[in-house]
Chains A and B, each alone.
Chain A
Amino acid sequence: MKLESTVEVQFSEQELQTIENLKTRYLKPDSVILEVLYLLQEKYGYITREGMKYAADLLGITEEHVLGVVTFYSMFNTQPVGKYHLQVCTNVSCMLKGAYSLLKKIESELNIKKGETTPDGLFTISEVECLGSCGTAPVIQINEDYYEDLNEEKVTQIIKELKNR
């Protein structure tokens, strides 16, 4: 786990206001922790130790509490990921529709294995659990977007487009 970073963590006034507004929805400020972590991840690419300390100070909770939450949820990255994070669902419905050969295809296209990032920092491949898109399997999630009803040709095309973007 890469936690050290030299980047100073600081939310803008507007971001702090957003967090303050969210706090009013709950009885205790701890509840907005996931939103704070999402914001950190969006801003800095992944969640650093400094980020966790910042979140802890912001919410008045311990760093250990924040670390516990960060490591519990699969959507938080504690190390840098590529610009495009290819999350390949391989759960049963996708697997029955060829998700593993799709994963292999992506690995060979990008010349990396799952869990790795391309040297140019453009792509990371992850194998993930059910994305709730079983009716349009196989599916991969790239950053926030779902790409459904895939096959090898489509996936090659998508990667090509992302490279040229």
Chain B
Amino acid sequence: MDIKILLKDIPDYHKIEVYRQHGGYETIRKALQKSPDEIIDEVKKSGLRGRGGACFPTGLKWSFMPKDKNIPKFLCINGDESEPGSFKDRQIFEFNPHQLIEGILITAYAIGAQTCYIYIRGEYVKWIRLMQKALDDAYAAGFIGEKMKETFGTEFFTNIYIHRGAGAYICGEESALMNSIEGKRGYPRVKPPFPAQYGLWGYPTTINNVETIANVPAIIENGAEWFANIGEPKHPGTLLFGVSGHVNKPGVYELPTGTLLTDIIYKYAGGVPGNKKIKCIIPGGTSMPPIRGDQIEGLKMDAESLKQVGSAIGTGGIIVMDEDTDLVKVLARITKFYWHESCGQCTPCREGTGWMLKILNRILEGKGTSKDLDLLIDVANNIEGHTICALGDAAAWPVKFMIERFRDEFEAKVNRAIKIDIPNKVHSMRRTQIPLKEIQINRD
């Protein structure tokens, strides 16, 4: 089945006139004829799940928004895209921005948001400009802002603005993203209260991923049933799989959920250079547990199938590593990332990521001992579940599962180091030379 919802093979589809020639901005017109609840129900029935990593049912998320019309409500579109291995949302900014805008309009109408922000990572200067151009064109055509009333003949209107980030992975976490929009440090908030109750400036807010919202016009246009029948029933639709690492044709491939991982790698991404074997695969961005090369035969790429092999679909960013890859180096690099990006609020994550990095660097230097592997898992276990946001888990999982699934390789690295001559295992503490009572503290 060759179905394209997001990245269509239509030349110049990013231009407003081409988008309109193919029925663009007609779906929002239809949507405005329905009630917001009908739209939420349609999206619920479609089975659309969030594409930002957590796979949360989108319609259900929208239904958490209070119906009160007299309070400000906000919609944030998460285009922070900083998960290593993930480079899909920028394809939408570049090749299909108007479908995203139309999706935002429909979503804003469904949840009653008068203002929408598209949060785009600061490094994406080019894609921010492309997206801004699309917004300008849509504003000029009367599809966004107050002119909507005239264009569509309804009371509803909404504004869409781009909010540029400034280099912080954590701002992809929804509550950190809101703090960032509020002009604060991007610290995740304690939940509950959830954004639908207490979001931007304390008002109800919904945060959705770029890819999720770009799917919405297609669902409203073709119906929930059409969408629900694409790919795997429990996780329907297409996904933008970003394939990188050791493959001949890296890139973003839009394929139905449930596509075989081996098909993605060998059929679409052209296989592994030099016909090497695959040692390890990260299936959905570095936060997701890595899987062994011998686990991928027959493995379908969707939320449920990956759960069964002890991983998760995440953002669909697939990193392929061939048989010659040094996994200790890879894990140290992944850990360095989380250490760098930890916001520092929670002690287990702030300190734990640094400890794990130190231990891994010690192993890389050939000074590791077999105890270090268990120590790493111990530290990871003490981070996981003990932090405000999921960055802690994201840092812990690669460590835990990489060691668990490739223990032999890690053992080989540390066992050589065991031979280091340690003359005296007891580290003797020296006594202080001055008796305690003679130590005076100058308090001036």
Contact = CB atoms under 8 A, between A and B. Distances in A.
B124 interface: yes
B159 A32 contact: no
B319 A92 contact: yes
A134 B122 contact: no
Interface in A17-73: 25-35, 37-38, 59, 61, 65, 68-69, 72-73
B173 interface: no
B252 interface: yes
Interface stretch (B1-9, B146-154, B164-172, B424-432): B164-172
B340 A129 contact: yes
A96 B82 contact: no
B183 A135 contact: no
A118 interface: no
B142 interface: no
A129 B166 contact: no
A141 interface: yes
A134 B84 contact: yes
B286 interface: yes
B123 A141 contact: yes
A27 B340 CA distance: 32
A134 B317 contact: yes
Interface of B: 72, 81-87, 90, 115, 121-126, 159, 161, 163-169, 180-186, 200-201, 242-246, 250-252, 282, 286, 317, 319, 321, 325, 329-330, 333-334, 337, 340-341, 343
B169 A31 contact: no
B161 A135 contact: no
A33 B86 contact: no
B337 A91 contact: yes
Given A28-B183, A73-B167, 11 more contacts: A25-B159, A29-B183, A31-B181, A31-B182, A34-B166, A91-B84, A96-B246, A129-B341, A134-B250, A135-B251, A136-B250
A137 B244 contact: yes
16 contacts: A25-B159, A65-B184, A73-B186, A92-B84, A92-B85, A92-B319, A93-B85, A96-B245, A129-B84, A129-B337, A130-B83, A130-B85, A132-B90, A134-B250, A134-B319, A135-B251
B75 to A, nearest CB: 14
A63 B315 CA distance: 38
Contacts of A91: 84, 286, 333, 337
B168 A30 contact: no
Given A28-B201, A37-B166, A92 B333 contact: yes
Given A73-B168, A90-B333, A132 B87 contact: yes
Return the 7 tightest CB-CB contacts between A and B, nearest first: A30-B183, A73-B166, A74-B167, A134-B244, A75-B167, A130-B84, A93-B244
Given A92-B84, A134-B319, A69 B167 contact: no
Contacts of B251: 135
A146 interface: yes
Contacts of A145: 125-126
B86 to A, nearest CB: 7
A1 to B, nearest CB: 17
A147 B217 CA distance: 34
A112 interface: no
B217 to A, nearest CB: 24
B185 A72 contact: yes
A150 interface: no
A110 B46 CA distance: 55
A131 interface: yes
A65 B121 CA distance: 21
B183 A93 contact: no
A95 interface: yes
B72 A27 contact: yes
Contacts of B87: 132-135
Nearest to B125: A144
Nearest to B269: A135
Contacts of A69: 183-185
A84 interface: no
Contacts of B317: 134
Contacts of A92: 84-85, 245, 282, 286, 319, 330, 333-334
Contacts of A68: 184-185
A74 B86 contact: no
Interface in A98-141: 129-137, 141
Nearest to A27: B201
Candidate in A29, A129, A137 with the most chain B CB atoms within 10 angstroms: A129
Which of A29, A95, A97 has the most CB atoms of chain B within a 10 A radius of its CB?
A95
A75 B166 contact: yes
Given A30-B183, A38-B166, A131-B123, A96 B242 contact: no
